[in-house]
Amino acid sequence: MRLDSLTRTPTRLMAALLAAGAIGGAGVSAVGFAHSRVQAQPAPAVMAAAPGAAVALPDFSSITRRYGPAVVNISTVGSTQVADADDDSGGAAAGLPNDPFFEFFKRFEQQQGGGRGRAPKATPSRGVGSGFIVSPDGLIMTNAHVVKGAKEVTVKLTDRRELRAKVLGADPKTDIAVLKVDAQNLPVVTLGKSTDLNVGEWVLAIGSPFGFENTVTAGVVSAKGRALPDDSAVPFIQTDVAVNPGNSGGPLFNAKGEVVGINSQIYSRTGGYQGVSFAIPIDLATKIRQQIVAHGKVEHARLGVSIQDVNQALADSFKLGAPEGALVANVEKGGPAAKAGLESGDVIRAINGQPVVTSADLPAFVALATPGDTVKLDVWRQGSTRQITATLGGAADKAQKVADAAGAAPQGRLGLALRPLQPEERAEAGVPGGLVVQEASGAAETAGVQAGDLLLAVNGTPVRSIDQVRSAVGKADRSVALLVQRGDNRIFVPVPLG
């Protein structure tokens, strides 16, 4: 959830992918902040303590004093489409689908009501976020959603000067934007390396939650490389730093006073902080900034696959020694992966020698690559390892999809009534073979398979007949992995067997 506007209830990703649910939202206001003016100078390094020795806490006051002046307030003026005030359709909350993946707090936007057929009206909207200065001549980094739809952007410094800012470029895919103000000799932050962060390390945020200006909060790195449902290309830094609406675009500092991330999203059931916050790694943000400054746009690398995590049931199905890797659920026709020879059912276990432990590791690597780069993939296929070389393409607004298979169902029979596809059904679905699920019960139903789904493969082997399915299930030990297509989406569903 974007900090200045969004929350989202966590849920299983399988339902979202198979159902292909849309995303909508309702309006909410945001607040901003200001910071005290101080002299900028390098922060002292924190010495590592010997094992068993007492560990001193970082000097948060020193970091705030030295780098607070480089954190700025960003206010925007834009417009939004809202329904007529006397519309009897129920207003902004009307018509929201009963889907836990809906963004039910969406910045500067209200759901359009359909009552009386009246056209929505454009009304002024204002928002406030934050950012930080990265060059003395006025280059500023923030979140793309902070300046989305803005017609005017104003930057307020801690010495209370207000400067009109130009948006040099914004990349919605990574939620990074770069601004420029006409000024010289501005205070700047020091950029660190997010790759050097360790889980459990102290981090610090500066922002203005709920309008409380110059608020400093601290916590630890809870995890690294987190993939979220709405943005699998960003390997988020998860922290327990208290961030709330108003912190968007603000810096996340390490104990040395170096910026290691940009506070961007939270998970919350209430709209406020609940201990789970996410920041964009500064390594990725810097790469995006450099492209925006140089070219005014961003090109993302793309492998052209849909992937999902390998849980224990899938590992058993594919005879993997450990539940690790990125399972290829679908390969985009004519894409880089297809040209390289990747197939549905492959498990990518390493890329350029770097282990792929979870599916999030793959898009995290690709996000830092450039279109045209060549990568070497270690792939597990049909019980053996092989190496495949692929040339990454341009994203062209097609993000990799990360699916999350349904949890293990209770043991039992497969529970599927199947029939072959008719020729016209194959043509309509765009598949060379497969079977139609006429009825799902038992273990398959519990795993998430539904009537009307197409069963394309079992344990990575394409199926065209019911006998093939029986044979594959008969050879399986504890579970089978069913490649299921629903609409245009595909996912491997692990089904434990009794």
- Which residues are annotated as catalytic? 145, 175, 248
In the chain, what is the straight-line distance between the N-terminal and C-terminal CA atoms, in Å?
40
3-state secondary structure the chain: CECCCCCCCCCCHHHHHHHCCCCCCCCCCCCCCCCCCCCCCCCCCCCCCCCCCCCCCCCHHHHHHHHHHHEEEEEEEEEEEECCCCCCCCHHHCCCCCCCCCCCCCCCCCCCCCHHHCCCEEEEEEEEEEEEEEECCCEEEECHHHCCCEEEEEEECCCCCEEEEEEEEEECCCCEEEEEECCCCCCCCEECCHHHCCCCCEEEEEECHHHCCCEEEEEEEEEEEEEECCEEEEEEEEECCCCCCCCCCCEEEECCCEEEEEEEEECCCCCCCCCCEEEEEHHHHHHHHHHHHHHCCCCCEECCEEEEECCHHHHHHCCCCCCCCEEEEEECCCCHHHHHCCCCCCEEEEECCEECCCCCHHHHHHHCCCCCCEEEEEEEECCEEEEEEEECEECCCCCCEEECCCCCCCCCCCCEEEEECCHHHHHHHCCCCCEEEEEECHHHHHHCCCCCCEEEEECCEECCCHHHHHHHHHHCCCEEEEEEEECCEEEEEEEECC
| Unique residue bearing structure tokens 């449902």 | 229
